[in-house]
Chain A
Amino acid sequence: MSELLIKNGFVFDPLRGIKGDRMDIGVKDGKIVEPGTLSSPKTIDAAGMTVMAGGVDVHSHVVGPKVNVGRLFRPEDKLFKSPHKSPTCSRMEMGCSVPSTFKTGYDYARMGYVFVNEAAMPPLHSPHVHEEIRDTPIIDNAAMPVFGNNWFTLEYLKNNEIENNAAYTAWLLRATRGFGIKVVNPGGSEAWGWGLNCVNIHDPVPYFDITPAEIVKGLIETNEYLGLPHSVHLHCNNLGNPGNYTDTLESLKLAEGYTPKNEFGREQVLHLTHLQFHSYGGDSWGNFESRAKDVMDYVNAHDNLTVDMGQVTLDETTTMTADGPFEHHLCSLNHLKWANTDVELETAAGVVPYIYSPNVKVCTIQWAVGLELALYSKDMMRTFITTDHPNAGPFTRYPQVIAWLMSRAARDETMKTFKWLERTIDATSIDGIDRELTLYEIAQMTRAGPAKALGVCNTYGGLAPGMDADIAVYALNPENMPSNPAEIEKAFARCAWLVKDGIVTVRDGEIVAEPAKRTVWVDVKVPENAQVQRDIYEHFLRHYSVKLDNYSLFEEHLHNPRVIEVDTTE
C-alpha cells in the first residue's frame, strides 16, 4: 500500500477543465485518489510548480525494424553524442536522432511522458516491434499496424466489403497486438513496388485499381464500424512536396459526413499526422511557401478531425517512414545514404539521414509552417505537439517546441540565426503572429488532447481519481513565469518529478526508478467470418513467405499487456 500526496502545485488538467488551480493530488496503489482518503502518505512538495498528467505522445517512431535500421546505418549518430551511462539508470544510453530503446524510455520519462504511440508497425515484423517495446523502459507503448497498402484491405475496399475488412482488421490487430489503423501514403507505398507512387488521392493503385480516396474512406468506415478507441491515423499522399496543401485539404475532406462511433470519448474520425509536411504552397522549391493558414482554417471548422504538428526542429536527424517512394525522392535531393525495403503484401519503408539547416530556406520555411499550424489552431484539444520523431527532429526537442509556442521571444531568437530570414518571412506568416500559448494549452496539446484522440483518456492524460497515477511536476511557476524562454525549455526537458503508476520515477530530471512498463493493445471481438478466414488462409498459402501459423505474435513476445476490449458482437 503505497500512498503519495503531491501538495500545493498549480494543477493543469484540461480533461476536467482545471486551469492552474492550487490543488493536492492523492495517489494510492498506482491510481489517483481523492487526497482526503489517504492515511499516511509520503509528500511531494510541489508549491510554486506546475502539475500535469504524464505526457502522451500521439505519433512517434521509437520501436521496430525501420527504427533499428536507422540505428544500424547511422553509427555517426552515436559518436561523441551519447552520454554513456547515467549513474542512476540501469542501462547504457546511446544515439541522438535515433536513440537506443533504453535512451528512448529514459528521455521520455525525463520530459514527464508516460505513453508513446509507435506510429507505424509493419504487421509482418510485429514480433520485432514488441521485442523493442519490451526493451524500452518506463513508458507505456502502443503500436499501430499499417493498413493503407495492405493487399487484403485494398481488395476488400475495392469491392466495398466493409464488414469483411472490419473482420480482417480485427484479426490483424490481434495477430500483431496492434492498437489502431495507421495509413501511410495510401496506395502509394504499394505502387512503389512498381516503382510508382500515388501522387494525389485520385491516382489509382496499379493492379488493385483503387484510389487513395477510396482507401481512406473505406478505412474510416471500417474504424467506425468496429468502434476502435483511436480513429484512422493518416499520413496522407504527396508528403513534403511544394503545393501539396491542396492534396491535404482533399484528404481532410474525405472525413466529411462521418461521425465517431465509440465508447472511449473520442470525437474525431480522422487524425492527420505531421501536418507540417503537408501544408506547403508554391510549385517548386524556388517559390515554396506556407499554406498553414488554409489548412488550419479547414481543421478549425471541422470538429471530426485532429492533427499533430510534425515540427521541424532544425537538427541533423534521420528520416524514416513507410512512405517508401518519398524516401527515394528525398535521397535524390540530398544524396546521402538510403535504405529501402518492401514488406510483402503489406507495406514498404525507407530511411535517409537529413539535415534541417538554419542556412537552407526550405528548412526554415518548414520550421515556420509547423509553428503556424499550432498558433492558428483554435482548439488545442485537437492539435498536438509532435516532431514526427525522428523525421522532423528528435522527440527530445519537445521542450524547445514548447518554448517556441509559449514565447514570441524564443521564436525571434531562433529566427535571428536564419540565413534567409527575409525570404522565410515573405513565404510564411510566422513574423505576424504574436500568439503565445499558455501552460493550459500546452497541457491540452501534450497530454489531454492526445489521450482523448487515442481513446485512452479514462486512464492517461488526466488527473481525475481512478486514473493511472502518472503525474509530471515541472519547476515552472505559472504566477511568475520566467522571462527567459530558455528556462521554460529547461523545465520541460527535465521534469522536477515524474510519478508513473504511483512510483516516483524521475526526481530533479534524473531517473530514480524504472517501474514496469506496459504494452497497450486493442482486442476486437467480431462475429465469425468464414470468408475472411478463407481469404487469410489462401493469401498465406499463395503469397506470403511465412506460414499462417508462424505469423501471429507469440504470447512470449507480448510484454506486460494492457488490453482494451471492444466487442462488436453485442
Chain B
Amino acid sequence: MKTVTLTLTNPPELMLEGQNITPDNFAGKKAAEIATLDVWEGKQKSPLGKYFTVEGDGGATAEETKIVLRGDCTRVKRIGQQMTAGEIVIEGNADMYIGGWMKGGKIHVKGNVDSFCGIGMEGGELVVDGDAGHHLGSSPRGEWRGMQGGVIRVAGNAGNDTATFINGGTIVIGGDADIHISTHGEGGTVIVKGNAKGRVGGQMVKGDIYVFGEIENPLPGFQMVGEVEQEVDGEKGRFAHYIGDLGERHPVSKGKPVYANLYTRI
C-alpha cells in the first residue's frame, strides 16, 4: 500500500469541498497530479495544491492507496465521499459529509467530525475517535433509502437524527446520542453505549436499537415484551426488550408482523 500525505498548509477562508480526496481519485496518480485535482472554496474551483502540500504517490488502485491528512481540517468537507476502497486517516478534526455515500474501505478520524458523516453509506468502515454531529449515518435529504451497510463507530457523542431511514449496517456510539435515532428505520443496528435523549425509533418498522444507558423520554409506541440476555458489541448484558413502533405499518413474515426491536440495559 502506498501513502499519500496531505498537509493543510494554506487553510481556506471558507469551507473547502473536498469530495475529490478519495483513494479512488488518487489511485494511479503521482503527487504532482494529485495536487491538480479540483477542490471548491465556496463557488471557486482551485487545485488541491493551493491548500495542501502533497507528498507521496497514489497506489495502482484505490485498494492500494492510503491517504493521511495532517493539519487542521475542521473546515474540509466531504473527504472520502463515495470512496469504494483504500484507507484515509485524518489526524485531527474534519468537517461535514466525511465518508458520505461510501461503499468500501476505511476512514479513521482521530478528532471530531461535523454533521452528515457516513450518510447514504453502503459499505466500508468509518471510525471517529471524538464526537460526531447530526445526521450521522442518516439518509440524504428526501431519500427513503438510508444506510445500506458498513460500520460507523463514534467513540464520543452523536448529535440528533442518527440513522434516519437506516436499512442495514451498524452504528456504534460510545457516548450519548441526542434525539431521533433510527427514525423510519427498516433494518440495521444502532448501539448507543451512553444515554439517549428521546424519540428513539420513531416510525421505525424493522431493525434493532440498543441503549446501554437511559432513554430520557421513551416513545409510547414501544411496548415491553420481555427480558433477554445478549452479547452486544463484545459486552454481555441483560436487556429489556421492546417492540415498536406500534403506530406504524409493519411487514408480515410467515404470518406474523415484523416489528423493530429496542433494547435497554437493565
Chain A residues engaging chain B, CB cutoff 8 angstroms: 73-77, 79-80, 335-337
Contact = CB atoms under 8 A, between A and B. Distances in A.
B140 A337 contact: no
17 contacts: A73-B142, A74-B142, A75-B140, A75-B141, A75-B142, A75-B143, A76-B140, A76-B141, A76-B142, A76-B143, A77-B142, A79-B140, A79-B143, A80-B101, A335-B249, A336-B144, A337-B144
| Majority-rule SS of A interface residues | loop
Query: Which of A76, A80, A335, A336 has its CB near the most chain B CB atoms (within 10 A)?
Result: A76
Closest 10 CB pairs of A and B: A75-B142, A76-B143, A76-B142, A75-B141, A74-B142, A79-B140, A336-B144, A76-B140, A335-B249, A73-B142
A16 B142 CA distance: 49
A79 B144 CA distance: 13
B190 to A, nearest CB: 22
Nearest to B186: A335
Nearest to B141: A75
A335 B141 CA distance: 17
A80 B144 CA distance: 16
Contacts of B143: 75-76, 79
A336 B144 CA distance: 8
Nearest to B101: A80
Nearest to A72: B142
Interface string B199-239: 00000000000000000000000000000000000000000
Contacts of B141: 75-76
Given A76-B141, A335-B249, 15 more contacts: A73-B142, A74-B142, A75-B140, A75-B141, A75-B142, A75-B143, A76-B140, A76-B142, A76-B143, A77-B142, A79-B140, A79-B143, A80-B101, A336-B144, A337-B144
Nearest to A75: B142
B139 to A, nearest CB: 8
Contacts of A76: 140-143
A18 to B, nearest CB: 48
A79 B142 CA distance: 10
Contacts of A337: 144
A374 B249 CA distance: 40
Contacts of A335: 249
A2 B194 CA distance: 75
A80 B120 CA distance: 12
Contacts of B142: 73-77
Interface string B133-152: 00000001111100000000
A534 to B, nearest CB: 47
Contacts of B140: 75-76, 79
Contacts of A80: 101
Contacts of B144: 336-337
Contacts of A74: 142
A72 to B, nearest CB: 9
Nearest to B120: A79
Nearest to B251: A335
B186 to A, nearest CB: 10
A550 B228 CA distance: 66
A76 B140 CA distance: 7
A269 to B, nearest CB: 42
Query: Which of B101, B144, B249 has its CB near the most chain A CB atoms (within 10 A)?
Result: B144
A410 B141 CA distance: 36
Interface in B172-189: none
Nearest to A78: B142
Query: Which of B101, B140, B142, B144 has its CB near the most chain A CB atoms (within 10 A)?
Result: B142
Query: Which of B101, B143, B249 has its CB near the most chain A CB atoms (within 10 A)?
Result: B143
Nearest to B144: A336
B205 to A, nearest CB: 9
A85 B174 CA distance: 43
Contacts of A79: 140, 143
A75 B141 CA distance: 6
B17 to A, nearest CB: 13
B78 to A, nearest CB: 12
A338 to B, nearest CB: 12
B255 to A, nearest CB: 19
Interface string B110-133: 000000000000000000000000
Nearest to A77: B142
A332 to B, nearest CB: 9
Nearest to A336: B144
Nearest to B205: A335
Contacts of B101: 80
Contacts of A77: 142
Contacts of A336: 144
A79 B19 CA distance: 14
A102 to B, nearest CB: 18
Nearest to A353: B144
A73 B141 CA distance: 9
A354 to B, nearest CB: 12
B263 to A, nearest CB: 26
A336 B145 CA distance: 10
Contacts of B249: 335
A400 to B, nearest CB: 24
B97 to A, nearest CB: 12
A79 B101 CA distance: 11
A230 to B, nearest CB: 36
A96 B106 CA distance: 31
A522 B144 CA distance: 43
A77 B140 CA distance: 11
A347 B144 CA distance: 29
A86 B141 CA distance: 25
A1 to B, nearest CB: 42
A223 B217 CA distance: 62
A337 B142 CA distance: 9
Nearest to A74: B142
A549 B49 CA distance: 62
A336 B141 CA distance: 14
